[in-house]
Structure 1
Amino acid sequence: MRVITQQVFGGPEVLTVVDAPAPQPLPTEVLVRVKAIGLNPLEARLRAGEFPLLGKPPFVLGWDISGVVEQARTSRFRPGDEVFGMPLFPRAANAYAEVVSAPALHLARKPAALSHVEAAALPVVGLTAWQGLVDLGGVTAGDRVLIHGGSGGIGHVAIQIAKALGAHVIATAGGGKREFVEGCGADEVIDYTAVDFTEAVGDIDLVLDTIGGDTVERSLGVLRPGGHLVTAVAEGDAELVDGFEAAGMRFSGIAVDPDPVALRGLVELVEQGRLRVHVRETFPFERVADAHRLLDGGHLQGKLVLTV
């Protein structure tokens, strides 16, 4: 099989396609013939050596996959089943590959409403949003939810999940992305390039942050007493935790995991027609470096996907 690997840290050009032996599934695992691979900003940081999650190269990046089961050492799936998921995170799943071995519990049957490309785009962002809003945030009908980065991978999925939970959703996004964010279901959109969100909104029950930086600290001022900020990018900041708690607020960081219950929740929303994932662009497997150049640029609307 072919895999995409790197021998050193660096720019997109360090990613190379090589031949490698196919993995062998262990008991409780399945072997998946991959059809599409979702890309995430974290992978660009790992490639560049900015975050030590996988240690030093050589390694194979990737977690988001959709494909067809070839071998099944479990009763959960059979050969021929179409599946998708985010196996093994935060351990290496070696998903930038034509064939992946994965725990069956980390996968779900692909909804018929989604293509393999769409399904591969969903797991990391969908599970992050679900765990932030449902598991940590406990969002319920009538809550006022502010989502920072509403047009991004996590953000545009989070808007839809929050709406499905019955929340009033406010999202920040650049002015040119207003129509897209409104199309995802946002009740209000704040153009952060023209308006200070701290002056435009208040009495928020939950803030879901995908931006980081001073956006987190400034969000303290828009929360109602006892409000909750959940962040996907600043989870390890003890000083922030202390600051929020001193102000009578709650602060949580998302350490996303391949929870099968949450994955089934995403499937149900897709099947109900209440959740879709936007794919900004697809790239063939061999053009992974071009895809990573777009990742490096940031400010993406939706997701990027490799086709295999």
Structure 2
Amino acid sequence: MTEPTARAVRFDRYGGPEVLYVAEVPMPVPAAGEVVVEVRATAANPGEASIRSGTFMPGSTEFPSGEGSDLAGVVSAVGEGVREFAVGDEVIGFSFQRSSHATHVAVPTGQLIPKPPQLSWPVAGSLYVVCCTAYSAVRAANPRQGETVAVSAAAGGVGSVVVQLLRVRGARVLGIASPANADWLTAHGATPVPYGEGLADRLTAAAPDGINAFIDLFGPEYLELAVDLGIPRDRIETIISFELAEKLGAKHEGSVDASTKEVLAEMADLVASGSIEIPIAATYPLDQVADAFRQLEQRHTRGKIVLIP
């Protein structure tokens, strides 16, 4: 009798998107406290590209390696002791095993929540990384009602959620992005500020009473800019420039700091209610995973790129 198999993204060496391929793998079997999810959608994220290229946590990867953190799908098997979910339940969750870019994945029940019916599969499969990262970054910046917060890469995957969550919290947002994203930022309650030469002057002009906090989602130059603008260092947050943040005394919290099913459920409720929108830039079948990451790594995408296994 032929053993059932699944399909999963793999890479055998560090490199660009061309090292990614899809392999036949044994069907996951749930351990006690786990379920197997038949994946309907799973987002591609910059952190996964950094791990695959060897620029983030080099040497930590065992080959062949899988990838993927976000997931949404349907429970197809349950392990011993599982009471919260049953076969056929629609769920949203996350994997800590770099395993969700696949047709099936085993996940502990503590990393899953029920999928709100209002959410499409691409949106549901995009929630974990961007929403938990945005939640953590906003929490670190500690915005108060009426304060002004500047956000770099404000129209990207995480940035688009940060902007909206800040507005939900009652902050005024200066969204740093390309002019092509100005209309989207304006429509979502932010003041667009084009990046590039003269940015400091444009930010100062947009906030003559000062900027209270800064959330950097792009790179170290924005941390230096925030310091130059006189923003208190405990109100400067980055999700990318960890070493410089340590040096400057800024914060550097990311998705791991908010990776709980409680945070995921709170953010899913905000999306389901329409308070936060998750833009979907593109969807790709699993076999086109390399093309999905080529688009992602251009770093000009507004919203999420999603794999549909």
TM-score, length of structure 1 as denominator length: 0.90
2:215 maps to 1:208? yes
2:33 maps to 1:33? no
The aligned length equals 295
Change (3 A) 1:87 1:139: farther
2:19 maps to 1:14? yes
Q: Residue 41 of structure 2 contacts residue 71 of structure 2 at CA under 8 Å; is this kept in 1?
A: yes
Q: Residue 142 of structure 2 contacts residue 235 of structure 2 at CA under 8 Å; is this kept in 1?
A: no
Q: Residue 174 of structure 2 contacts residue 203 of structure 2 at CA under 8 Å; is this kept in 1?
A: no
Q: Residue 236 of structure 1 contacts residue 253 of structure 1 at CA under 8 Å; is this kept in 2?
A: no
Q: For the aligned residues, what is the CA RMSD?
A: 1.8
Q: Residues 230-255 of structure 1: CA distance to partner in whole angstroms, max 9, x if unpaired?
A: 10001233xx43434xxxxxx11013
Unaligned 5+ segments in structure 2 are 1-5
Q: CA deviation at 1:225?
A: 4.7
Q: Which residue type is aligned with residue 134 of structure 2?
A: A
Q: Residue 93 of structure 1 contacts residue 102 of structure 1 at CA under 8 Å; is this kept in 2?
A: no
State the distance in 2 between where 1:226 and 1:2 align.
46
Choose which of 64, 87, 97 in structure 1 pairs with 2:95: 87
2:243 maps to what in 1?
236
2:42 maps to 1:5? no
Choose which of 190, 194, 210 in structure 2 pairs with 1:191: 194
Choose which of 101, 114, 117 in structure 2 pairs with 1:112: 117
Q: CA deviation at 1:96?
A: 1.2
Change (3 A) 1:291 1:225: closer
1:247 maps to what in 2?
none
2:3 maps to what in 1?
none
Q: CA deviation at 1:199?
A: 4.6
Alignment of 1:145-294 (within 5 A): 145-186=149-190, 188-193=191-196, 195-201=198-204, 203-225=210-232, 228-237=235-244, 240-244=245-249, 251-257=250-256, 258-294=259-295
1:70 maps to what in 2?
76
State the distance in 2 between where 1:196 and 1:226 align.
19
Q: Residue 39 of structure 2 contacts residue 103 of structure 2 at CA under 8 Å; is this kept in 1?
A: yes
Q: CA deviation at 1:185?
A: 2.5
Q: Residue 198 of structure 1 contacts residue 218 of structure 1 at CA under 8 Å; is this kept in 2?
A: no
Unaligned 5+ segments in structure 1 are 245-250
2:45 maps to 1:44? no
Q: Residue 145 of structure 2 contacts residue 170 of structure 2 at CA under 8 Å; is this kept in 1?
A: yes
Q: Residue 68 of structure 2 contacts residue 95 of structure 2 at CA under 8 Å; is this kept in 1?
A: no
Q: Residue 234 of structure 2 contacts residue 251 of structure 2 at CA under 8 Å; is this kept in 1?
A: no
Change (3 A) 1:292 1:179: same
Q: Residue 131 of structure 2 contacts residue 161 of structure 2 at CA under 8 Å; is this kept in 1?
A: yes
Q: Residue 175 of structure 1 contacts residue 193 of structure 1 at CA under 8 Å; is this kept in 2?
A: no
Q: Which residue type is aligned with residue 241 of structure 2?
A: A
Change (3 A) 1:62 1:198: farther
1:305 maps to what in 2?
306
State the distance in 2 between where 1:226 and 1:213 align.
14
